[in-house]
Amino acid sequence: MKKIILFFVFGLILSCKQSISESDLQHLNGYWEIEKVELPDGDKKEYKVNETIDFFKLESKKGFRKKVMPQLDGTYLTNNIQEEFVITVTNGNAVIGYKTNYASWKEEIIELSNDKLVVKNQQDLEYHYKRPVKFSIK
């Protein structure tokens, strides 16, 4: 009986992860705002206001991510700092491999759609992103 329960729980955990195809990767392009972070112990950190937003640019499984700051006029302030990455897709698992002059790390894409991005890093932190709502005070 314990084996059946364990098998059921394991199957349930695996079914929560989206299978990512190469055609899904097109959704990564653009601006993403962090919504929350889920810690390995189940705790969550909610982000109500973000001073920075991530911008992803992907072409042929290679790209970059950079931080941008939304401005009151609806534009984004940016600098020349960006993190280069390469995405590998194997059996429905997509991994973003980042490399800078100072470090390299990986994040697994757990879920990716036009309006939702969830990635998990090597410390088992899950980052949940949404598309930002553009605002302007003119």
Domain ranges of the chain: 19-130
* pLDDT given for residue 83 in this prediction: 96
* pLDDT given for residue 17 in this prediction: 72
* pLDDT given for residue 72 in this prediction: 86
Regions of the chain where pLDDT drops below 70: 1-16, 135-138
E strands, 1-138, are 30-38, 44-46, 53-59, 62-70, 76-77, 83-90, 93-99, 104-112, 116-121, 126-130
Domain 19-130 has CATH 2.40.128.280: yes
Which residues partner with 54 through β-bridges? Answer: 32, 67
* pLDDT given for residue 19 in this prediction: 92
> What's the first-to-final CA gap in the chain, in angstroms?
65
CA proximity to 33, closest of 133, 137, 135? 133
